[in-house]
Structure 1
Amino acid sequence: MNCFHCCKADHSLSFKDKRSAHKRDNTFSAFIHSMSHKTGSSKQRRIAAEIRKFGKAKKTPNVFKYQELADATENFNPDCLVGEGGYGRVYKGYIEAVDQVVAVKQLDRSGNQGSREFFAEVLMLSLVQHQNLVNLIGYCADGDQRILVYEFMSNGSLENHFLDLPPDQEPLDWFTRMKIAGGAAKGLEYLHDVADPPVIYRDFKASNILLDAEFNPKLSDFGLAKLGPTGGKDHVSTRVMGTYGYCAPEYAMTGQLTKKSDVYSFGVVLLELITGRSAIDNSRPSEEQNLVTWAKPLLRDKKKFTMMADPLLEGQYPRKGLYQALAVAGMCLQEDADSRPFMVDVVTALEYLSSPVTDEKCSPITDEKGSDLSGPFVDSIRGQRINGKQEA
């Protein structure tokens, strides 16, 4: 059976439908109150208190009944399934009350972890709003159901566009890759420097970067995101969570989460985009299974930079642009967290690299020894450092 709701794109709402939608009990404070007391979780009550402390939400998500979402997806018809993983399943659907094609994410109902991440997702996406963050349309918390409703992103996740491509799928070209990296960097920059309170994303990876029809990226899945640090602190102490291969080494060792932890994860994804390799690939020889471990020796030798380019690019990239992108990745992946750039600097770098300029226009960048490593932004980054450390 075809999922006819999934294909609906143009419906007009009657006055009655619109009035009904406006009557929804969808105030954010009501959600916080109900979720905090339903679960009895002290952790969730603390998060609710933080929301009240830090001010108004950017937007108030719709509250959907389970039956509305079942209707939108033809009772969660497998024909509407567009993705699944450890979190649960995602279906494409159409909701008449909001007149929108949506992605309906039905979370796994087993265990308390799913409820905590569901609550954090609604909380975080109500506090932030940016063109490079996925838009939360609403949620459902009927009984033990935990369902999130997002805008639909027609090109799926970034992971689906450079790993295990089917024969009939064209690989992303160089400038599309840099455009995706640049947009994702802007999303992180917003979370770190504009959002109030600031947000540390904590789970930046290719599968959490969604792409619209024009390959504009949006960060999704905020279940592990953390508010802060605030009050002059530079880190948040928390249980180590995230995805193996993307976690910053200092966070994995100490549990002290900083904005620079996200910067490291960004470096891993940028390296994935450049090389076409996954952060962890157990099908490769043992010395190549961890992308960062394989890449670090090559990043120290400019003569080997072209060896790191994704073979699917077939050499179609500006050589100096490749050098500069690898330099950005290398800086983000430095062991010393303080030596990594801030996301604002990474955004500047990638705006430069995502423009389709000729190889001659990609100006070489030199390090202290005069080696050609990256782009013009590196000098400004270095100018902010004192004795190899960046100012806070």
Structure 2
Amino acid sequence: MASGEASGSEGTASVDKATASGSRDPQALRPHAEHAFAAELAALARQDDRPRPARWKLSPWAVATYLLGGTLPDGTAITPKYVGPRRIVEVAVTTLATDRALLLLGVPGTAKTWVSEHLAAAVSGDSTLLVQGTAGTPEEAIRYGWNYARLLAHGPSRDALVPSPVMRAMAEGMTARVEELTRIPADVQDTLITILSEKTLPVPELGEEVQAVRGFNLIATANDRDRGVNDLSSALRRRFNTVVLPLPESAEAEVDIVTRRVGQIGRSLDLPAAPDGIEEIRRVVTVFRELRDGVSADGRTKLKSPSGTLSTAEAISVVTSGLALSAHFGDGVLRPGDVAAGILGAVVRDPAADRVVWQEYLETVVREREGWTDFYRACREVSA
């Protein structure tokens, strides 16, 4: 709401007005990328003198700088949104400047959604033209629907038509997003074939079609752990340029990612900073990487891997929860006891098999590691 005093219809009006104008709500728990990083996007736009594709807010170079971070000539610092190989971002941005759609593929937690959102924000200034894929996503979510009251009263008409985010992006020359594409039923997925190949969306009920204007493109994300759920048809896959987002190459890179994101999330939740928490972040990342890779960091001990993915995103969640515990029920310093329960919940997804994996890891690796005695005790306590 606009203020703490607003309530009832007055408060609803304030919310509706803010939503309609696309302005940032200062009370939003998670602002859209174009709002959260508006100052950086504006600074890039002011100093961006390179050629921009039609209807792009920034040049491809500036979009890549926004994603990867850097310092502008006037000294403005652009924070990294993605920590990974530069070439991956460059290929993704270049794809959006062509007539090929972009498919971001990777295991869970490799920042596919995060990258998709920031690409749309930097290219179109709007990351909200989104279709969230699920097993129940209908064809109307990608094509269009109808206002049934108007449809019954007056028959098919433009006024009765409800455009999908994809249709809006086509008409306005913007970037649409489809999350978890492989979770959408195959027959609904194939609705995209005509859109991506012909750049046209027929509306047979009206005897019309919507043609995409310059600037339109689409970013889809897919989880490569979902192979066999609703695999993309070869016809649809050919319409995409696929970019695979890898897991962080090194422990230091992953620690950096977790630290940055936990800091951002903590500020949005008014949690205190955790300047002394870097050691616990390193431990969480180390545990996740060792169990994920099936071998200890020194290469001496082979390990069984649990059924979960133990992604960077899950590490961020564990540390954020630990930070909240330390803030509300501790002394504000992130300690082993604050992250132990979160790690247990992330690792032990299958109560039978994963618990055995976890116990073996604690006894063969954690217990013997120098300087990890307090961490071992905390993990044993919550695992008992």
TM range (shorter): under 0.3
* TM-score, with length taken from structure 1: 0.24
Q: Which has the higher helix share?
A: 2
If asked which structure has higher relative contact order (CA below 8 Å, sep 6+), I would say 2
